[in-house]
Homo-oligomer: A and B are copies of this chain.
């Protein structure tokens, strides 16, 4: 088969690779129905995360089970499945506590931007849909593999509750789906920090009640002004830079919570600032597996439509253009069809 490989900064190739196959009895082999480019794929694409050798790319996927290893029990060939970007056994103590992305046997899914994918620990990683979905539903189901699950975790970690005031820092797919999540959880007011018109529009569609374009001191001042000087109850941080993290901390009320899901790059938190801010901080790689059953249900019943974050659809072999469009912010998120 042909799949996606990153050779170095801005050098994405779609090239011949070995066909994946069952290696361990706990593996499943999937025919990918749809995959996509993640905001986190841009870190190595931009050369900020160094790579040392040609690297198969992609960790978001859904599709039809082709074959399963002899020990796989919960999914079977022909089923449509979605899995987390982190493989998990779903039985270790961390999994049982709901932190499957810290599974004692975790592995990162490699090479999902391809027509076929081997998924290790299939029983602990994959969840099947009730039946095979319509073509229209596939983009929304695909988001559950990472960005929707991550936005949801941000809202859970930030302790979003009915009627509360929520700020979302970051207007990428995760931030936008954080807005959708906060809305689902009944937030009273959802303030999206965004300075891009198309993203502002989608933010409002997902449930944002207010938009703040300012950043840094200006952004914090605006949030404080909108909350009578108090700060927000919950802040979702979906970027991972020093600026966005500082913005999040300074926008939160004492006793309020920050859910941070943007992978931090060069972020250092000052202990004393954190101490006197009185905020709660929780985040990390989203334990998507925890949320998959409920989120599949919400998509299946048409209650959420997170697939709207895809504003560019390309055939898989044009994956390189998919990266470029996101890098240049011409697209929020690129859907790739094998």
Query: Which A residues form the contact surface with B (CB < 8 A)?
Result: 93-94, 97-99, 101-102, 104, 228-230, 240, 242, 245, 253-255, 260, 263-272, 274-285
The A interface, classified by DSSP as helix, strand, loop or mixed, is: mixed
Give the contacting residue for A254; candidates B97, B229, B255, B265; CB below 8 A: B97
Q: Give complex CA distance A321, B330 in Å.
A: 69
Give the contacting residue for A278; candidates B93, B99, B272, B279; CB below 8 A: B99
Cβ contact within 8 Å between B267 and A268: no
Copies of this chain present in the complex amount to: 2
The interface residues of chain B lying within 8 Å CB-to-CB of A271 are 240, 242, 245, 264-269
The interface centre, meaning the residue of A97, A271, A272, A282 with most chain B CB atoms within 10 A of its CB, is A271
The interface residues of chain B lying within 8 Å CB-to-CB of A278 are 99, 101-102, 284-285
Q: Given that A275-B284, A278-B284, A281-B282 are known contacts, is A94 also in contact with B269, CB under 8 Å in the complex?
A: no
Cβ contact within 8 Å between A277 and B284: yes
The interface residues of chain B lying within 8 Å CB-to-CB of A94 are 230, 253-255
The interface residues of chain B lying within 8 Å CB-to-CB of A93 are 228, 230, 253
The interface residues of chain B lying within 8 Å CB-to-CB of A102 are 254-255, 276, 278
Q: Given that A97-B253, A254-B94, A254-B102 are known contacts, is A272 also in contact with B267, CB under 8 Å in the complex?
A: yes
Cβ contact within 8 Å between B282 and A272: no
Chain B residue, CB-CB nearest to A272? B264
Other than the known A93-B230, A102-B255, what 13 A-B pairs have Cβ atoms closer than 8 Å? A93-B253, A94-B230, A97-B253, A99-B254, A102-B278, A268-B268, A268-B270, A269-B274, A276-B285, A278-B284, A280-B280, A280-B281, A281-B282
The interface residues of chain B lying within 8 Å CB-to-CB of A228 are 93
- A89, chain B: closest CB distance, angstroms: 14
Q: Given that A268-B269, A271-B267 are known contacts, is A97 also in contact with B285, CB under 8 Å in the complex?
A: no
Cβ contact within 8 Å between B255 and A98: yes
Give the contacting residue for A264; candidates B99, B101, B255, B275; CB below 8 A: B275
The interface residues of chain B lying within 8 Å CB-to-CB of A98 are 255
Chain B residue, CB-CB nearest to A283? B275
The interface residues of chain B lying within 8 Å CB-to-CB of A104 are 229
The interface residues of chain B lying within 8 Å CB-to-CB of A272 are 263-265, 267
Q: Given that A264-B272, A269-B268 are known contacts, is A255 also in contact with B285, CB under 8 Å in the complex?
A: no
Q: Which 8 A-B pairs have the closest CB atoms?
A: A267-B271, A264-B271, A102-B254, A99-B254, A269-B269, A278-B284, A280-B282, A281-B281
The interface residues of chain B lying within 8 Å CB-to-CB of A281 are 274, 280-282
The interface residues of chain B lying within 8 Å CB-to-CB of A263 are 272, 275
- A255, chain B: closest CB distance, angstroms: 5
Q: Give complex CA distance A274, B260 in Å.
A: 10
The interface residues of chain B lying within 8 Å CB-to-CB of A245 are 271
Q: Give complex CA distance A275, B260 in Å.
A: 8
Cβ contact within 8 Å between B275 and A285: yes
The interface residues of chain B lying within 8 Å CB-to-CB of A99 are 254-255, 278
- A49, chain B: closest CB distance, angstroms: 11
Q: Give complex CA distance A20, B260 in Å.
A: 47
